[in-house]
């Protein structure tokens, strides 16, 4: 009996199994938890922006409307500007505070564009950048002290759903690895006595 076709089939199975094990092991679980599709983008919904000065913290409270990708609702968000500057620069979610935090704080005017003159009696004021959505500046005595972007960040979506799907993803990964081991054993004659 000619053993060449059996050897060729076993060699092909070994190559396919090795390729599957190297490229697919852990892929389902990794894709479930690391994919960019598993993140929802949050961004400013409108140019509606309110600024408040907190003299105790020496910071500005920023209040705006946020929209989540794929959603049809808007959420009012509030965060302290200086406290979250690094997080926003790195496209991270700021540490939000209750929008009701504005109570007792002094609201400062926000001008709609660079053509609108600053109020003559305003110590502080904000100005929207009409050329760049979500960008604004804060001025003190007519001098710009901040130029900022409202938060744009990704956040994990539907964590509970991913937790529930994890056992299925691990099972799929284990099946691929187990299949590769089976093919390797079969290609090396390790299953010769198994019927």
The DSSP line for 60-129 is EEEEEEEEETT---EEEEEEEHHHHHHHHHTTPPP-B--GGGGTTSEEE-EESSSSSPPPTT-SEEEEE-
Spatial contact of 87 and 80, defined as CB atoms under 8 Å apart: no
Q: When comparing pLDDT for 148 and 184, which is higher?
A: 148
List, for residues 31-64, the tens digit of each pLDDT value: 655 655 555 778 888 778 999 999 999 999 999 9
Question: What is the rounded distance in angstroms from the CA atom of residue 89 to the CA atom of residue 151?
Answer: 8
**What's the confidence (pLDDT) of residue 153?**
85
Question: What is the rounded distance in angstroms from the CA atom of residue 1 to the CA atom of residue 22?
Answer: 34
List, for residues 56-105, the tens digit of each pLDDT value: 999 999 999 998 876 778 889 999 999 999 999 998 899 999 999 899 99
Spatial contact of 52 and 108, defined as CB atoms under 8 Å apart: yes
171 φ/ψ angles, rounded to the nearest 5 degrees:
-60, -45
**What's the confidence (pLDDT) of residue 99?**
93
Question: What is the rounded distance in angstroms from the CA atom of residue 103 to the CA atom of residue 191?
Answer: 75
158 φ/ψ angles, rounded to the nearest 5 degrees:
45, 60
Question: What is the rounded distance in angstroms from the CA atom of residue 195 to the CA atom of residue 193?
Answer: 7
Whether the pTM exceeds 0.85: the reply is: no
Question: What is the rounded distance in angstroms from the CA atom of residue 61 to the CA atom of residue 187?
Answer: 67
Q: What angle do CA 2, 5, 9 make, to 5 degrees?
A: 150
Question: What is the rounded distance in angstroms from the CA atom of residue 105 to the CA atom of residue 146?
Answer: 19
Cβ-based neighbours of 163, under 8 Å, separated by 6 or more: none
């Amino acid at each position: 009996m000619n053993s060449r076709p059996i050897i060729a089939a076993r060699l092909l199975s070994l190559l396919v199994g090795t390729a599957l094990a190297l490229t697919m092991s852990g892929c389902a679980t990794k894709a479930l938890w690391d994919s960019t599709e598993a993140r929802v983008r949050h961004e400013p919904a409108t140019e509606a922006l309110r600024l408040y000065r907190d003299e105790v913290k020496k910071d500005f409270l920023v209040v705006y409307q946020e929209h989540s990708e794929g959603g049809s609702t808007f959420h009012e968000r509030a965060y302290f500007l200086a406290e979250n500057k690094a997080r926003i620069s790195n496209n991270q979610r700021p540490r939000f505070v209750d929008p009701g935090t504005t109570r007792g704080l002094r609201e400062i005017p926000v001008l709609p564009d660079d053509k609108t003159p600053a109020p003559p009696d305003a110590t502080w004021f904000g100005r929207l950048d009409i050329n760049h959505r979500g960008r604004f500046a804060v001025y003190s005595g007519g001098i710009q002290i901040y130029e900022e972007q409202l938060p744009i960040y990704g956040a994990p979506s539907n964590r509970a759903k991913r937790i529930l799907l994890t056992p299925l993803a691990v099972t799929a990964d284990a099946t691929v690895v187990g299949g590769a081991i089976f093919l390797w054993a079969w290609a090396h004659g390790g299953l010769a006595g198994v019927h």
